[in-house]
Amino acid sequence: MSKNFIFQLGTNNWQREGEFAPGSGILHESHHNVYNNMKDTVCYSVYPSSHQTSDDPLVSILKLDHEVPICESISPVSSYRFHSMTEEVFDKYIVYLMDSTEKAMLAAEQREGIAITTVIAHHSFLNPLVMTRIKEKWMEQGKAPFKLVCFVHGTALKMFSHEKKGIDPEYPLRFFSFMINEGIFGKASKIDVCATISNEQLEKFLELYEEYPRERLVLSQNGYSSDIFKQDKSLFSNRASFLSTLKLTNIVSKGCPDSIKTTADKVVVFCGKFADWKRLETVLGAAKRYEEEFDVTTLIIGSGPAASIKTYHQMAYEKLALKQTYFLGPLPQSQIAAINSIADIGVYPSRNEPFGLVLIECLGCGTPVIGVRSGGPKDFVTAEVGSLIPECEGVELEDALYREIKKAFSEDWKKTKGQLAYDYATSKFSIYSQCDNLLQDIGKF
């Protein structure tokens, strides 16, 4: 049997060497590890970082002298947006990305003694552009063409959608028209397969790129690392002891607590970056109401720009006067998993969440979830493991979230749905199953 030789190009850093990572970086790393545990398969990866290093011959770092460029206005590790680049800087970045990637690909082939069979370009922006150019160059040189896959994450599509709508001054029409002119996702695209993480993302992709052949689009719902995010009933039984070990971070407001109440009857968890579409303000507003009725500790995991951190702290402690809501900052995956295990409910009221991996991770720890009926969660959150509230805004959304959290408390979802949540996640959303299914789908083209 011939060896499946995969090369991945990532857009974001991995979560290593004390540096946190966006979801796509975590997913890239997880896929890399899974592929290298498969029989007759080897995977090499490249990703950008301004300070990470690698002594692993299968992993190369695209060294940057600036933060990792991002499509949106927020990331756990960067505020350097593509829209802030001048044309000269942008053009130089493409050349650097292409030259560095091709060098890593050639070195990988030399080390393995065989040709790369499959290239996976993460995100639907520069990586598929770079890989298309390398593929064209290699074909002109007479090299055997590799199969080119674009793994479509959510943030690039959000950027292109903002540009196309033309209503947000932060996103002037620039990169969407650039991609159209390049024809990367046109009728004659050299990208063999595009994998999207939810049905809604698939439809959004087709709204942007109507000419891309629909038959070459596949659904690849994100898998989670079940070896990290797993149910720990002993932690739940000793919740107070665990809560006493957590540290509060980013305390910037008057009235903020200096320690976590460890003996509350219920624990709510929210995990996400401090972006407007994550709608953390809705969680805080609901907390104001349920704190008045129940003994609840609410744990907020995540971070963002300094201005956002200040805004949410002031909202929580100065405007709403919350007493048992705590900001923990960004945390390693192992600690997020432990918090998921000790929580009674996970709440994620995001607007049009591209997929919602944090919900799956929470389910995998045996904790039911509440999301919103939009985006990726529509594909997988069922009444057996949680619920989805209607997509709305403002006070209406806050009311709906509060009522659903209250219902979760009164019906003790942790007891009645927790084991079902764990069983559901482990049986349907393993990262191993995702990678295996994706390779099978790619093999059909």
- What per-residue confidence (pLDDT) applies to 320? 96
In angstroms, what CA-CA distances link 426 with 223, 228, 337, 355?
A: 10, 12, 14, 17
User: H-type helices in 376-430, by residue range?
Assistant: 394-410, 413-428
Tens of pLDDT, residue by residue over 67-118, are 999 998 667 778 899 999 999 999 999 999 999 999 999 999 999 999 999 9
190 pLDDT more than 60: yes
Domains 4-223+430-442 and 233-428 share a fold: yes
| Residue 148 pLDDT | 98
Dist. CA 242–CA 167, nearest whole Å: 46
pLDDT in tens, 222-262: 889 888 999 999 999 999 999 999 999 856 677 888 899 99
Q: Print burial letters for 337-347: b (CB count within 10 Å at least 16), e (below 16).
A: bbbbbbbbbbb
For 314-336, the pLDDT digits (tens) are 999 999 999 999 999 999 999 99
Residue 250 confidence (pLDDT): 58
Going by the DSSP 8-state scheme, the letter that residue 61 receives in this structure is E
CB neighbour class for 102 (10 Å; exposed up to 12, middle 13-18, buried from 19) = middle
What length is written for the chain? 445
Tokens standing for residue 321: 């006067």
pLDDT of residue 251: 66
What is the CATH class of 233-428?
A: alpha beta
Please state which CATH number belongs to domain 4-223+430-442.
Answer: 3.40.50.2000
Domain range list for the chain:
4-223+430-442, 233-428
Return the beta strands (E) in 82-172 as ranges: 118-122, 147-152
User: Is 1's pLDDT higher than 60?
Assistant: no
Nearest to 218 by CA among 151, 160, 119, 156: 151
Q: Is 131 left (phi over 0), alpha (psi -120 to 50) or beta?
A: alpha
